Structure 1
Amino acid sequence: MFKTVLCPVDVNESGLEARAIATAVPMVKANGGTLTLLAVVLDSPVMAAEYLPPDFRENQVREAQDALTRLARETGLPAEQVQVRIRHGRPYHEILEEARATHVDLIVMASHRPGLSTYLLGSNSTYVVRHAACSVMVIRDQAA
């Protein structure tokens, strides 16, 4: 049913992605599909740019690439069934753009338990669920 699965990963929230990936991998295996692990590197505020080291963005991209490569190996999927992608910008926007550009069937993403700021401002997963053209599965963090 779901051949192309997109799994966004927040490389700064280690461990949160494990359940989402563990949910996505069996679907990909069962359907002979592909899994795309996506990290979004946030754009640095212009005001902060002068205070950051010159190679700050390159370091962020390298760290994200390393984390995604490690996670891809840990899926147990053959290399031709898992790919890694890095985008730059706002997470929810880039997740939706990646899903649209690659015509994914399903987005499987992790989400924190909602807090006050989430209720007032919304969250990436909430925005993705509302605006995605494909199915979205949100995996809740077990911590209560």
Structure 2
Amino acid sequence: MFKHLLVPTDGSALSGEAARMAVGVAKAFDAKITGIHVIPEFHLLTYDTEMLADTPNEYVRHARKHAERYLAFVEQIATDAAVLCETTWVVSDHPYQAIIHAAQERHCDLIVMASHGRRGVQGLLIGSETQKVLTHSNIPVLVYRSQ
């Protein structure tokens, strides 16, 4: 049924649990997975130049290091389960768009991602990337929620 799953990760424990579930689904369907992490673009807003701590190059280096660590986790659990896995990271201020684009570009037939369950004012202010993926994707989305 499913042959290629896209597994977005933000490095949280919940996205790690979703990745474990995705690996289980992939194993059951003899599918492969692609882990993805979306890095926000570098922005600089300050009223005091002494507050400048990161340059764009330092930011990218730091963000890539985090992305590689998050994606290494996905790759390791896939390898442990004998599931084919590749990983990628992209830079975008709109994670949901980057996730959908990656799924389309890589011909994925399922997106498996976590939902942090933000509701009310917090959900309104922070937004839900999972909700946006659900709303805008033509590819099926399997949402993992904490027990």
The size of the alignment, in residue pairs, is: 138
Shift of 1:92: 0.8
Shift of 1:132: 0.7
| Structure 2 match to 1:53 | 54
Unaligned regions of 5+ residues in structure 2, if any? none
Cα deviation 1:44-65 (Å, max 9, x = unaligned): 22436x7242312111112211
Measured on the aligned residues, the alpha-carbon RMSD in Å equals: 2.0
CA–CA separation in structure 1 for the residues paired with 2:142 and 2:123 = 18
Contact 1:20 1:139 in 2 (8 A): yes
| Structure 2 match to 1:87 | 90
TM-score normalised by the chain length of structure 1: 0.85
| Structure 2 match to 1:23 | 21
SS of the residue aligned with 2:118?
Answer: coil
CA–CA separation in structure 2 for the residues paired with 1:60 and 1:141 = 26
Q: Which has the larger radius of gyration?
A: 2
Q: State the AA in 1 paired with 2:14.
A: L
Pairs within 5 Å for 1:64-79:
64-75=67-78, 76-78=80-82
Unaligned regions of 5+ residues in structure 1, if any? none
Choose 101-110 or 113-122, whichever is displaced more: 113-122
Choose 90-99 or 23-32, whichever is displaced more: 23-32
Choose 81-90 or 68-77, whichever is displaced more: 68-77
CA–CA separation in structure 2 for the residues paired with 1:2 and 1:86 = 22
| Structure 1 match to 2:9 | 9
SS of the residue aligned with 1:5?
Answer: strand
Contact 1:37 1:72 in 2 (8 A): yes
Pairs within 5 Å for 1:91-106:
91-106=95-110
Where does structure 1 differ by over 4 angstroms across 4 or more consecutive aligned residues?
A: none
Q: State the AA in 2 paired with 1:4.
A: H
Contact 1:100 1:133 in 2 (8 A): no
Shift of 1:67: 2.4
Residue of structure 1 aligned with 2:32, choices 24, 31, 34 = 34
Q: State the AA in 2 paired with 1:44.
A: F
TM-score normalised by the chain length of structure 2: 0.83
SS of the residue aligned with 1:114?
Answer: coil
SS of the residue aligned with 1:47?
Answer: coil
Contact 2:7 2:34 in 1 (8 A): yes
